């Protein structure tokens, strides 16, 4: 269990990571892709971005017709840092 609160960082044009810091988000991104994030990333999402409606997907990555938010995804993600979402969040 981590004592720090997870935040959401955009690490490229499409991938979001739950992490305790920008440095940790960069490490998670590097571990997943084998590359360092490009200049300007990772970038912490703003409150407006966290709360903006997003299309909801099922476990097979099909749209459900519902909506969610990045903040809701983070709440459902749990306390472990890692990849949160990608593509057209």
What is the per-residue pLDDT across 37-85, written as a single tens digit (0 to 9) for each? 999 999 999 999 999 998 888 788 788 888 899 999 999 998 999 999 8
| Across 1-10, 13-22, 65-74, least confident range | 1-10
Arithmetic mean of pLDDT, 5-13:
95
Q: What is the mean pLDDT of residues 26-43?
A: 96
Parallel, antiparallel or unpaired: strands 16-19 and 7-10: antiparallel
Number of other residues whose CB lies within 10 A of the CB of residue 58:
9
Which pTM does this prediction carry? 0.85
């Amino acid at each position: 269990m981590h004592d720090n609160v997870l935040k959401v960082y955009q690490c490229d044009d499409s991938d979001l990571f739950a992490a305790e810091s920008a440095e940790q988000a960069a490490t998670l991104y590097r571990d997943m892709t084998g590359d360092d994030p490009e200049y300007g990333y990772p970038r912490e999402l703003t409150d407006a971005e966290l709360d903006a409606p997003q299309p909801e997907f099922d476990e097979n990555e099909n749209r459900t017709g519902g909506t969610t938010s990045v903040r809701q995804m983070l709440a459902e993600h749990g306390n472990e840092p890692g990849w949160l979402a990608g593509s057209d969040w």
